[in-house]
Amino acid sequence: SIDSGEILFKGENIVAMSEKELQGIRGKEIAYIFQDPVGSLNPYRKAGQQIEEALKVHHLPCSKQRVLQIMKDVGLDKAETIYNMFPSQLSGGQCQRILIASAIACKPDLLIADEPISAIDASLQKKVLALLKDISKKHGTAIIMITHDFAVVKYICDRVVVMYGGLVMETGTVKDVLENPLHPYTLELLKCVNSLNRRDERLYTLEGRALGPSEY
């Protein structure tokens, strides 16, 4: 099992940092977009307040006008109305955009997105991916995209790391890995994806079972 190691960010080992040091980079330098947009928001706080909180934690200006502008930047129409709404009153796509707005409010250098489109309607998925791509381009934000979807990898990523059981199987440019995979596991994954496009064949499946986190 993996019980030690380093996580380097700007040459510093995050694992060795104190809680106070971690508080200084959470949200401000490294931000996270959770997989479940509705469940990740505070149900008792209005949308605008949740973005304000991200700014207040790091003592940054958090006027209503600034928050409204951030909401507009992530494509939220009728930002003034949504500002005063609770998560339960919003759609999954709107909740996801509030999460993204909170994540980019402090203009972090690194954005970690954990399956950011898996819990929203298919009609909204490409819009959210396009938004993340635009954020990266405009602000120079690096994005780590955690996903099982090779279509997402192809659309938004420059490089890809294929992992299994907590270990790196293969890494390279998206073009190299998807078109010329070197590791047998990567090749098997791609066979599963390709079989989805063939209606006259049974779906290709990997033999064996996936490891649980405790087995890594």
SS (H, E, C) 173-212: EHHHHHHCCCCHHHHHHHHHHHHCCCCCCCCCCCCCCCCC
pLDDT in tens, 165-177: 888 999 999 999 9
This prediction has a pTM of 0.86
Token pair 């409010």 in the structure block, residue: 105
CB atoms within 10 A of CB 69: 12
- Report the phi/psi class of residue 172: left, alpha or beta, with left for phi > 0 and alpha for psi in -120 to 50: left
pLDDT band at 123, cuts 50/70/90?
confident
> Contact, 25 vs 32, CB < 8 A?
no
CA atoms within 13 A on the CB side of 67: 25
Is the per-residue pLDDT at 112 higher than 90? yes
* Per-residue pLDDT reduced to its tens digit, 189-201: 888 776 556 565 6
Contact 113, 132 (CB under 8 A): yes
In order of start, what are the domains of the chain with their CATH numbers? 29-157 (3.40.50.300), 160-216 (no CATH)
Q: Work out the percent of the chain whose per-residue pLDDT is above 70.
A: 90
